Amino acid sequence: MTCQSIKQAKNASRVLTNVSATIMIQGTTSDAGKSMLVAGFCRCLKNQGYRVAPFKPQNMALNSAVTKDGGEIGRAQAVQAQAAGIEPNVDMNPVLLKPSSDTGAQVIIHGKAVSDMQAAKYHDYKKVAMQAVLDSHQRLTNQYDVIVVEGAGSPAEINLRKGDIANMGFAEAVDCPVIIIADIDKGGVFAQLVGTLDLLSPSEQNRVVGFVINKFRGDIKLLEPGLIWLEKRTQKPVLGVLPYIHNLQLAAEDAIQAEQNLHPQDIRLRICVPVFKRISNHTDFDMLRLHPKVELIFVPQGSAIPGCDLIILPGSKNVRADLALLKEMHWDNDLQRHLRYGGKLLGICGGYQMLGNSIADPEGVEDTPGVSQGVGYLPINTLLQHQKQLTQSQGRLLLPNKRTPNVPIRGYEIHIGTSERAADARPLILLENGESEGCISDDNQVAGSYLHGLFDGPEALQQLLLWAGANTELVKDYDEQQEHEIERLANACQTHLKWDLIESFIQIQLTAPSLASESISSTHGAKNHV
C-alpha cells in the first residue's frame, strides 16, 4: 500500500458517516506484549495521520489512572492515549476489575465503582458489562478513524470462554480482525501460537489475520525456517518480529518492574518499598527506579527491610489486610529501627493511612468490618467509606526547605474513605483550591499523602529526594520520559512490522465497511513468507 492510498483511505472514511476501523491485539499469554503493541500501533497510526484511540474492553489491574472528568481507567490505557496524542477517557477502558482478594474484585464501569463481586457473581454480571463495553466502543467509533483494541490474558483459556467480553467474545461482537502476539523470550513461541490458534473456534480462527513475535534476540536468519513453517502450518502471515527493546520503560499494567542499571559509585540514595499482597499503583515509583542516582529496592514478603535512607509504604487495594501483613512480616519493627537510626518514612494513599493511629471500616467496604490500629507515626485517623475519591490535583509541596520552598506538585487521588488530621498537625501539601493535604510529623521524619504521582514532576522529585537526604539534579518529568519511550517503541514497530499489510486491514474497513468482514477473511492466507 502506498502513502497516497493510505491518505485516500483516511479521507474516504471522513466523508462517510460514523465509519471507522477496529483492529484487536490478543496475546498467547499474559505479559506477551499486548499493552506495548497497542501503544506502538497508536503512535504509528497517529504519525500516519489517523485519528486513533486505544480501547481495552475489560482490564484486571491494580495500576489505574484518573481521567480529567473524575473516572478511573487502567494505567496502560492512559499511556496508550498519550501514544495516540489524545486525552484519556473512561470509554477507553469501560470495565476495570481491581482485585481485593483471591476471589473478589471491585467492579468499575465507565470509570465508577458499582460493586464488589466474587468471581461467580461477576460471571453472571458479564451481560451487563458487555453492554457497557459495546456502548463505549460505539462512542469511540463515532469520534475516531481507528480503534486499537487490547485483549486480556489469552483467548484460549477454555474456562473463561463462555460469556467472554475481553477477547474473542468482543471481537466476534464487533466483527473485527485480530492479531495475536507471543513473547519468544519466554520460550516455546511456536507452540504458543499454534496451540492458541487450534483452541479457537472456526469463526475465531478465521478472524485472526496474522501473528507478531515479540522480544526476539539474535540473528533473524536463524528464526526464518520457523517462521516459514508457522505460516505454512497455520496459513496466517507473520506480520513482524519485534526485537527485544532493552530498558523499555513504559508504565506497566500490573507487573512490578525492578530492573536497574546503576554503578554503585553513582548511588546517592537508597529507597525501599515493601511489596504488599494488594499493592496498587506501583507506577508511583517509576521515576525513582529510572533516576540515575537512586537505588530502588522492592522488598518481597518474607524478607526484612534492609538499611536504607527512605522507606515508602505504597498504596493498597485492601489496606487493613495489608496492614496486618506488614505486622505479620515484622516490617513494623523494621520501620521502628529505621526511624531510630534517622531514616525517613513516607506513605502514599493506603500507605499513608497505615502510618496513622487507626483505620476503621465499620461497613466492611474493603473486607471484614472492624478497626485496625495503625503504626502510629502520623496524627491521623481514617474512616473507610463506600464513596471513592477520584480527582486530579496540583498544589505546592510544603517540605521545610529554605532554598526553594513550596515547589509545585501534581498527582491524582484514588481512594475510599477520609483521614482526619489532628488540629495542630502539619500538612504536606497545599492544594490550589486552598485545602491542605497529607501530613508531616513534627520531627520531619515521617510524611504521608493521598496523591499518587508524587515523584512525576522534576521539581517535586528533587525536593522529596533532598528531604530524604540526597541533593540531586533535576531530571525529566514523567510525561516527557514516557514520550521518549513511546517514540522508541514506535520506531521499532515501524521498522520491523509489515505496515503495508496491517494498514490494508484498516483500509478495507474504512473504504468498504459493508464488505470488511468478507474482504479481511480473503487476506488471511500467508501470501508472503518472511
Collapsed DSSP state (helix, strand, coil) of residue 16: coil
The rounded distance, in Å, linking the Cα atoms of 191 and 274 is 37
Question: In this structure, are residues 296 and 260 in contact, taking their beta carbons and an 8 Å threshold?
Answer: yes
* SS3 assignment, position 196: helix
Strand-pairing partners, residue 416, are 388
Per-residue DSSP letters for 181-224?
EEEGGGS-HHHHHHHHHHTS-HHHHHHEEEEEEEEE-S-GGGTH
**Residue 442 buriedness (CB in 10 A; 0-12 / 13-18 / 19+):** exposed
pLDDT at 470: 87
Closest CA to 90 of 153, 135, 144, 37: 135
pTM of the model: 0.85
392 belongs to a structural domain:
yes
The CATH number covering residue 364 comes to: 3.40.50.880
Residues 457 and 508 in one domain: no
Q: Residue 169's beta-bridge partner residues?
A: none
**Are 512 and 466 within one domain?**
no
Indicate whether 404 and 466 sit together in one domain: yes
The whole-angstrom separation of Cα 289 and Cα 489 is: 20
Using alpha carbons only, give the angle 77, 81, 86 rounded to the nearest 5 degrees: 150
Contact 151/26 with Cβ under 8 angstroms?
yes
427: helix, strand or coil? coil
Taking the alpha carbons at both ends of the chain, their separation in whole angstroms is: 18
282 is catalytic: no
Do residues 57 and 90 share a domain? Answer: yes
For residue 138, the domain's CATH number is: 3.40.50.300
Q: Which of 110, 137, 291, 452 is catalytic?
A: 452
Range of the domain at 352: 269-471
Position 12 scores a pLDDT of: 46
What are the C-alpha distances in Å from 511 to residues 34, 145, 323, 429? Answer: 27, 11, 56, 53
Per-residue pLDDT tens, the chain, 530 aa: give them.
444 444 454 544 444 446 899 999 999 999 999 999 999 999 999 999 999 999 999 999 888 999 998 999 999 999 999 999 999 999 999 999 998 888 888 999 999 999 889 888 898 899 999 999 999 999 999 999 999 999 999 999 988 888 899 999 999 999 999 999 999 999 999 999 999 999 999 999 999 999 999 999 999 999 999 999 999 999 999 999 999 998 888 876 666 766 677 778 888 999 999 999 999 998 899 999 989 999 999 999 999 999 999 999 999 999 999 999 999 999 999 999 999 999 999 999 999 999 999 999 999 988 889 999 999 999 999 999 988 889 999 999 998 765 666 799 999 999 988 999 999 999 999 999 999 999 999 999 999 999 999 999 999 999 999 999 988 878 888 888 899 999 999 999 999 999 999 999 999 998 866 555 555 555 544 444 44
420 plus 454 within the same structural domain: yes
Q: Are residues 177 and 86 located together in one domain of the fold?
A: yes
**Shared-domain flag, residues 508 and 405:** no
User: Is 239 found in the same domain as 124?
Assistant: yes
Q: How far is CA 117 from CA 91, 227, 279, in A?
A: 22, 43, 19
Indicate the residue type of 308. Answer: C
Catalytic residue from among 349, 415, 439, 524: 349
Among candidates 355, 283, 286, 288, which has minimal Cα distance to 322?
355
Using only the alpha carbons of the chain, give its radius of gyration: 24
- 207 and 354 in a single domain? The answer is no
Burial (CB count <10 Å: 0-12, 13-18, 19+), residue 489: buried
* The predicted structure's pLDDT at residue 402: 58
- In the residue annotation, 452 being an active-site residue is answered as yes
Asked if residue 461 belongs to a domain, the reply is yes
| Residue with cell string 468482514 | 517
